[in-house]
Amino acid sequence: MTRLSGRVRGAMRLVLVGAAVLWGCQLPGRRARPGTTAAVVRPETTVTPPAAVPPGAPPAAAQRPDSSAPPPFRADSVSDSVRADSGRGAKPVRPAPAKKPAPSTRNCVLDFAESPPETRLTYNRLSETVSNTFIGGGFIGRCQGERNRLRADSAEQFQAAGVVNLYGNVVYEEPGKMQVTAMHAVYFTREGRLYADGNVVATQLATGSTFSGPSLEYYRAMPDRPVSRMIAPARSVARLIEKDSTGKLSPPTTVMANRFEDAGDSILVAFGDVVITRESITGRSDSAAFDKPTEKARLVRNARIVNDDTTRRFTLTGDTIDLFSKDRQLERVVARHRGKATSDDLELDAEQIDLRLSARVIEEAFAWGAGRARARTPQQDVEADSLRIRLVDKRVREVHAIGGARTAGVPDTMKIRTPDRDLLRGDSIFAWFDSSEALMRDTAARPRMKEVLAVGNASSLFHMANARGREAPPAINYVRGRRISVAFDTGAVRTVRVDSAASGVYLEPNATDSLADSLRDTSRARPKPPGTRPPGSRPPANRSRAPRPAPFVPAESRQMPWPTPRFR
């Protein structure tokens, strides 16, 4: 007990001494004893007494600190100075670029207040914000805040997945834009996407154009997708409705393809075995594109355009064909890469063919490109580096051939009979065809050459009719010069004029030509050789046969043959 009490007394003394030391350190004006450490405590702020406020001054003036007084001490002043010193001499830090807002993925709150009274509803709440809804007996609804409307015999919504399934007589409609009808559809509310299948018909309400096929995918316009998009993945049929400048409906255009893609009802692209039909015109290609605002179209790969109208029969082929229209009227057609144009009166073949139309009738045709351009008519063939052909009332009237031009024509078959052709060469050749009213009234008549002019290093070879008739060989007229002009009369050469540097030759067959005599005297019997007898007759019985003459043997063969060489 004595020891325990002594220890307790010692501990109490230590506690009392420590308390006295602490109390002494906190008294003002007192210093700490030697051997002890004094704690210096600074106030966090310095309060300045308010100055006198003059009468009539606002109360805020009394709260302004004295500008001559030192700034108050703040506990975070050290950290501020460190930040300021670390920024001196350092490169300015550029702010991070603003990120694009994420696409809207808000859930669709289904509003079906327009549904008929027979509608039946089953509502399953999975959580406070997620639920599933099953609707039968007819459904008409829309997502709140959106103008699109959904209609079907029955529907089911899975809010967590953002999916609305529609069954039976489905109708999806955006006022003034698009209407889709199908037997089944799935609407993805977060993506603004509709997938429809089963007898799908999509109608663009602004133009009346329709798309029909087994399935269709439609992306409506959204903040992150300003232009709507439509995709027909299976073979479908598009019926395009257009209006002219006066607002009158033009004949519809039907397009069939294995796949369609439409962007904003402005650009339509078709892929795979494309067939385009408009009235009597049919176009085919591997793929096609239509730009509706600019009225441009392109057929790519194995392109072909055929006009089946008997009065305007025409065919155009090429690897690529471009079509340009204005006010829904076709004005220009360009065939690129091995183009070929064929009509009743003209066949044009070149690397590129450019056709200009007016009122859907060809008025001019241009041909050029790598290789040679060739134009063929029933009477003349023209070949040059480039060609320009002008037509009037679907008939050839002028042909301009530039660059190493050459023409080959058929002589008048009524007066001349020969397999050879008339030839005309020059740096440039200009040909004019008959345009008389009588010939224009006769739709079955062929265009006939009226005049041909060759300019620059010109030469011509023409056949002239023989005075003895069509069966006699014709005469040949060959001339050269700088300019040669040839005039025709009813398809036959009438005159040939050479302007300068003229030279040439005129060849006329001989009147005693044995070939002509043999052709003219074909009815005369040939004389029989001596010693022949009529067929079936027998030689005389008492006449001996004449000895046969010995065969002729050349002197060289009567000599002795050469000895056979021997080899050791």
The fraction of the chain above a pLDDT of 90, given in percent, is 30
Distance CA 320, CA 336 (A): 5
Nearest to 211, CA basis, from 149, 171, 260: 260
Single-letter amino acid, residue 354: D
The count of other CB atoms within 10 Å of the CB of residue 332 is 15
Phi, psi of 311 (to 5 degrees): -85, -15
**Of 87-91, 214-218, 366-370, where does mean pLDDT reach its minimum?**
87-91
State pTM to two decimals.
Answer: 0.65
- Residue 458 has phi, psi (to 5 degrees) of -85, 150
pLDDT tens per residue, range 49-68: 334 434 444 444 334 444 44
CA 173 to chain CA centroid, Å, is 30
Look at residue 514 and tell me whether its pLDDT is greater than 80: no
Question: Closest by alpha carbon to 395, among 436, 461, 446?
Answer: 446
R_g (Cα) of the chain, nearest Å: 53
Residue 450 scores a pLDDT above 80: yes
Q: What totals of helices (H) and strands (E) does the chain contain, helices first?
A: 5, 30
Whole-number Å distance between alpha carbons of 209 and 241: 5
Residues 445-451, mean pLDDT to the nearest whole number: 72
How many other C-beta atoms are found inside a 10 Å radius of the C-beta of residue 136?
16
Q: List the structure tokens of 32.
A: 């700490």
Distance separating alpha carbons of residues 478 and 234, to the nearest angstrom = 65
Which residues, 6+ apart, have CB-to-CB distance to 473 below 8 Å? 418, 466, 509, 513, 515, 516
Q: What value does the mean pLDDT take over residues 141-158?
A: 88
pLDDT digits (tens, 9 = 90+) for 273-306: 999 998 888 999 999 999 988 889 999 999 999 9
Residue 516 has pLDDT above 80, yes or no: no
Q: Are 447 and 396 in contact, with CB atoms under 8 Å apart? A: yes
- Pairwise CA distance, residues 191 & 163, whole Å: 10
DSSP 3-state assignment of 123? strand
Query: How high is the pLDDT of residue 106?
Result: 56
Q: CA triplet 387, 425, 345: central angle to 5 degrees? A: 45
- Give the angle subtended at the CA of 226 by the CAs of 221 and 229, to the nearest 5°: 55
Return all residues near 226 (Cβ < 8 A) that are at least 6 apart. none
The Cα 238–Cα 259 span in angstroms is 11
447 compared with 174, residue with greater pLDDT: 174
Domain boundaries, the chain: 105-197, 377-512
CATH for 377-512, among 1.10.1740, 2.10.240, 2.60.450, 2.60.120? 2.60.450
Contact 304, 283 (CB under 8 A): yes
- CB contact set of 118 (below 8 Å; sequence gap of 6+): 137, 138
